[in-house]
Amino acid sequence: MRHPKVRSVLFTTILILLVFVGWYAGLLDIYSTKQKLTLLLLVIAIYFWTISKMPFAASSLLVVGLIIIFGLVDRPEEAFTGFLTNALYFILVLSLISKALVAAGADRVFVTILLKLSRGGIRTILFGLPLLIALMPILLPSAVARFRILEPIIEQLNVTFNMEQDSMFRKYSMYVIGMMNQNSTMIVFTGGGFPVLAAQLLKDFGGVQISWIGWFILIAPPLWLSMFLVSFGVFKYFQHTTEEVSMEALQQLDEDTQLPKRFWWVVLPFGLMILSWVVLDQETVPLIIAPIILASYYALPINNLVTDSLVRSYDWENFLLLGASFSLGYVIEETGTALILAGQMLELLPDGIGDFGNILFVAIFIFILRFLFVVPSTSMIVIFPIIMSYAEILGLSVITLAFLVIMIIGGVTIMPIHSPTTFLAFQKGAFSKKEQYAIGGYSSFIISTVAIIWALFIW
């Protein structure tokens, strides 16, 4: 408990000092009363969503209530604007579909692939597992679901190859299904809750609605390059720090080749949903339509995959957190607070630094704020409006800065709490805190560096 208490006291002290310095230096003088209250609400929200022990559900509802109490909206209904966004329900429906696929046994496809790789020995798995993770978000839109599917198989293979709990194979595999799995979610904006949220913010605050293919073309190359460089570095790191093991299989695992009942009746409609995202115009047919139809199909009595118990098991606390975060983001934008914050950011820049200096400054700003937040989605909603206003003031490309924000926020996994799958992998005891910080720091640095290069020369 010592470290959380120290972090809480330290962060609270920093917040108080920032407020005091801002007031003493006259930095708040240019803000209107409503904008000052918006800044106060932002500080309160950051406290609740980073170091406070108050449950996210309660603190999220309190943030919505404070929007009304502070008079930041004209009508009380406007405080709930965040709960009306498509992304919130897109994430909900995708989560239900992902759980339905697992319930139907569709996850056995990935298990079968991994078991087939095991026939070639450990070396084949170590090279094949990252490739599998790099493509899985297209077919299974949930990083946590992907972790839950692959983790038992990895543990089983570790035993099969007669290796210890701290073997290089287990450490590297846990990195892949933990940190790398979280990073791969961004390859398509339907790959999980975070990219869905990012695409919605790009539309709301950047005024850009990007297609499924357009997103993939923009982010897949730098992300795959980053993941290759990081996975190679992590492989060499574990190879150097852990005992080398045999690369040959010692025995075969039993492989169940029989497909689950109604397998194709479940998988083929899912494939059609992905195809609809690729070929249909979002302006004509909103992306959320196909998932809603598919979830309804899975809920039919003949399938019985989306049930009341499945819906109740959804993470409704996260639903409230995202909805309140959206509302806060809209308030920051609508009150003009984001524009003034972006203007004050400009004052920190020396003259004549050019595009490289601007992009590097934004990247450092994003990285620092992302490090403070436990939940990547929350940091995204708070940071995005400010960066979009910054792009507007300087006349920089919205797409360039938007994807810089997305890659850095989605790529930071220094601490176990920085993403759900990173936390799950760390909980398994696969690597020490030192290894977690070393791998997470290296991964975050490489992804951020590649994002900066792409922002400068390609995006």
Express each pLDDT in 309-320 by its tens digit. 888 888 888 788
Report d(CA 136, CA 316) in Å as an integer: 25
Tell me whether residue 187 is in a domain. Answer: yes
Domain that holds residue 197: 87-201+210-312
The average pLDDT across 52-58 equals 81
Mean pLDDT of the chain: 77
User: Which of 106-115, 204-213, 357-366 shows the lowest per-residue confidence on average (mean pLDDT)?
Assistant: 106-115
What confidence category does residue 392 fall into, taking pLDDT thresholds of 50, 70 and 90? confident
- What region does 255 belong to: left with phi over 0, alpha with psi -120 to 50, or beta? beta
The average pLDDT across 428-447 equals 83
Neighbours of 7 (CB within 10 A): 13
Tell which residue, 357, 346, 385, 351, has the closest CA to residue 369: 385
The average pLDDT across 43-50 equals 77
Q: How many domains does the chain have?
A: 1
Would the pLDDT of 250 be above 50? no
Tell me whether residue 383 is in a domain. Answer: no
Write out the two tokens for 28.
């708040």
The average pLDDT across 266-285 equals 79
pLDDT tens by residue, 4-27: 555 555 555 655 565 555 555 556
pLDDT tens by residue, 364-380: 878 877 766 666 776 77
What does the pLDDT read at residue 429?
A: 76
Tell me whether residue 145 is in a domain. Answer: yes
Packing angle of the helix pair 263-279, 122-139 (nearest 10 deg): 70
Contact 101, 111 (CB under 8 A): no
Contact 440, 367 (CB under 8 A): no
Tell me whether residue 454 is in a domain. Answer: no
Contact 386, 405 (CB under 8 A): no
| Phi (first) and psi of residue 351, to 5 degrees | -70, 145
CA distances from 291 to 276, 296, 395, 412 (A): 10, 8, 37, 29
Write out the two tokens for 72.
């930041």
What does the pLDDT read at residue 394?
A: 73
- Specify which of 17-26, 175-184, 235-244, 250-259 reaches the highest per-range mean pLDDT: 175-184
What does the pLDDT read at residue 253?
A: 47
